[in-house]
Amino acid sequence: MATAEASPSGNMKTLQVKRYKPSENPKKTYLTEEKGLWSWLTTVDHKKIGLMYLGSVTFFFLLGGALALLLRTELLTPAKTFIEADTYNQFFTLHGAIMVFFVLVPSIPAALGNFILPMQLGAKDVAFPKLNLTSFYIYVIGAVFTFIALANNGLDTGWTFYTPYSTDSTSSVIWVTLGVFILGFSSILTGTNFIATIHKMRAPGITWGKLPLNLWALYATSIIQILATPVLAITLLLLTMERVLGMGIFDASMGGDPILFQHFFWFYSHPAVYIMIVPGFGIISEVITTFSKKHIFGYWAIALSSLAIAFIGFLVWGHHMFTSGQSGVATTIFSFLTFLVGIPTGIKILNWVATLYKGSIEMKTPMIYVFIFLFLFSIGGFTGIMLGSLAADIHLHDTYYVVAHFHYVMMGGTLIALLAGIHYWWPKMTGKMYNEFQAKIGAALIFIGFNMTFLPQFIMGSQGMPRRYYNYIDQFTIFHQTSTLGSYILGVGFLLIAWYLFRSLMSGEKAPSNPWGSRGLEWQATSPPDLHNFDHTPVVIHGPYDYHKPMEEFQLGLANSHNGHGHAEDIDVEKVSAH
């Protein structure tokens, strides 16, 4: 059997392969084969599930973004501008909780990852398609719980749920913790699915050394998801029980310890930061090679640094607690380990810049976002070094400096990478092109608006402006107002993006199967792809970044592997050695 021989772990095998050139603008695609709302809601197709996640994430992003604009508007003046302090506290809590749990965590892995991962593996689907759909509905149920909380007293604890405030709060803490608890299972199941898929579903010829870096990143992310998320689940369960039964584990008056909650919480929530950013790294590696038409520089350095970040990321959670009163021993060790995680991140950045050297660089929109990413994320990284050093952190902890830092990392990093990914894979996902000129204007607005919003926050933070403040002293007014103005520009930028993507969906130009000339396996499928991704079993001889080799050598599939609804043009038959 050809399939058995094609085992990637096997030795040199001779395969019968054919050249399959993807047909342009196919009539039958995953979008047209099954139609109607019901076919979407009950689909087990990873592509449709990915798009449903993308839709939900976009919805929550707009909700969280609207909250952010309201918060910024309130901060135009000290004291009350238009909402009360309690409302303000609820808004920043919800902004944080929605953006972290409903947007950033699922954004790249669950939305783009679901769509792209099986295609980059040459698989028909993820390992457990039904489980995949289940994860999506678990996400929806988690969202419903959170909405119940919204309608019912809201939540005012901050997204960190610190005890004892969260055990005393009169808002609906339980609904939200249960919501996030449920949401956690969605994340766990997605991670489980991805690990099994990457291990067991690789197309013939995809060895670990030929795995696209996007998949290395998703693999590292999945490992963090399965190791960290269960601890969040138990933390939230303990917090819920603390409120229901007065368990005492986090209650100082019963001999418990509120700081222990912070350990529990950050054991998940610090690695969660890497759940958010590491998949972004994957997208950057894909886009930067495609638009420089060049082999990635330091494949193994980038691949293994993802795993290194995933591992070291588990050992640094206490840097959120330098001022909390944790022991000096712990503080010292956490500070030291925190710096170590900076190194693999730095290695990645420098490898990407080195990839540009002697490339053939085309500044299309995804590439512009990569440049924005490299600039903003570097700033986020350097300010992270600042916050990791003990003496400086004592001064900067819980000020706007921290707020600016994590927005540079999470928004300047993850969200910009997500935008790069959406623009990069948009033709593949929808079969349509978007307006390149409008897209570039959008990117410019985002870049300007973002820096205008968050650069002043660095300054007012180190001047001493604490975070989560409804009111502020007069000396910070000018910084707050600049920041608010910037956030409006940012908002306009996102609206523009939504507008031209919507236009593209409705009346966009039809996209070719490989508009960017990428060597990635996902681009050897039609745009949009077939229901089963490929109409043949792809065979991979070269790595995904072998731009020095002609395109024809990437368009291979097992001979005689039509699945019935394919319509590839057979060109010729070759004998190729795969290992």
Site mask, another protein, residues 276-295, x = CB under 8 A? ----------------xxxx
Q: Which is nearer to another protein, 2 or 576 (CB)?
A: 2
Q: Are strands 569-578 and 556-558 parallel, antiparallel or unpaired?
A: unpaired
Closest CA to 430 of 48, 107, 104: 48
Backbone angles phi, psi at 377, to 5 degrees: -65, -35
Q: Which is nearer to another protein, 119 or 418 (CB)?
A: 119
Q: Using the rule CB under 8 A, which residue among 448, 517, 553, 574 binds another protein?
A: 517
Q: Using the rule CB under 8 A, which residue among 31, 140, 301, 441 binds another protein?
A: 301
d(C-alpha 83, C-alpha 97), whole Å = 20
DSSP 560-575: T---SS---EEEEEEE
Question: Within 155-214, which residues bind another protein (CB under 8 A)?
Answer: 156, 158, 162, 164-165, 168-169, 188, 191-193, 195-197, 199-204
**Cβ 506 to another protein shortest distance, Å:** 29
Q: Using the rule CB under 8 A, which residue among 547, 554, 555, 556 binds another protein?
A: 547
Question: How many residues belong to the site for another protein (CB under 8 A)?
Answer: 162
Closest CA to 559 of 14, 19, 1, 17: 17
For residues 320 and 388, the answer to whether their CB atoms sit within 8 Å is no
Question: Within 394-423, which residues bind another protein (CB under 8 A)?
Answer: 394-395, 397-399
Q: Is 127 near another protein (CB under 8 A)? A: yes
Which pairs with CB-CB distance under 8 Å and at least 24 residues apart come from 551-557? 551/517, 551/519, 552/19, 554/519, 554/521, 554/524, 555/19, 555/20, 555/21, 555/22, 555/524, 556/17, 556/18, 556/19, 556/20, 557/17, 557/18, 557/19, 557/20
Question: Within 361-390, which residues bind another protein (CB under 8 A)?
Answer: 361-363, 371, 374-375, 378-379, 382-383, 385-386, 388-390
Q: Are strands 13-21 and 569-578 parallel, antiparallel or unpaired?
A: antiparallel
CA distances 211 to 119, 185, 214, Å, are 12, 27, 8
CA distances 198 to 50, 218, 279, Å, are 17, 9, 15
User: Which of these segments, 13-21, 24-32, 485-493, 556-564, binds another protein (CB under 8 A)?
Assistant: 556-564
Q: Using the rule CB under 8 A, which residue among 63, 148, 259, 498 binds another protein?
A: 259
Length of the chain: 579
Q: Is 360 near another protein (CB under 8 A)? A: yes
User: Which of these segments, 17-25, 312-320, 487-495, 499-507, binds another protein (CB under 8 A)?
Assistant: 312-320
User: Which of these segments, 142-150, 247-255, 420-428, 504-512, binds another protein (CB under 8 A)?
Assistant: 247-255
Q: Where are the alpha helices (DSSP H) in 24-164?
A: 30-33, 37-41, 46-74, 85-97, 105-106, 114-121, 129-151
**Cβ 507 to another protein shortest distance, Å:** 27
Closest CA to 20 of 521, 531, 511: 521
Q: Using the rule CB under 8 A, which residue among 238, 419, 429, 489 binds another protein?
A: 238
Question: Within 45-104, which residues bind another protein (CB under 8 A)?
Answer: 85-86, 89
Q: Which is nearer to another protein, 53 or 261 (CB)?
A: 261
CA distances 128 to 30, 54, 200, 531, Å, are 18, 20, 11, 16
Q: Which is nearer to another protein, 274 or 500 (CB)?
A: 274
Question: How is residue 21 annotated by DSSP?
Answer: E
CA dihedral 436, 438, 444, 447 (to 10 degrees): -90
Site mask, another protein, residues 208-237, x = CB under 8 A? ------------------xxxxxx-xxx-x
Site mask, another protein, residues 325-344, x = CB under 8 A? xxxxxxxxx-xx--xx-xx-
Question: Within 434-473, which residues bind another protein (CB under 8 A)?
Answer: 458-459, 462-464, 466-473
**Cβ 10 to another protein shortest distance, Å:** 7
Q: Is 260 near another protein (CB under 8 A)? A: yes
d(C-alpha 120, C-alpha 198), whole Å = 10
For residues 127 and 204, the answer to whether their CB atoms sit within 8 Å is no
Q: Is 494 near another protein (CB under 8 A)? A: no
Q: Which is nearer to another protein, 195 or 213 (CB)?
A: 195
Q: Is 536 near another protein (CB under 8 A)? A: yes
Q: Is 550 near another protein (CB under 8 A)? A: no
Q: Which is nearer to another protein, 21 or 562 (CB)?
A: 562
Q: Which is nearer to another protein, 225 or 414 (CB)?
A: 225
Question: Within 103-122, which residues bind another protein (CB under 8 A)?
Answer: 122
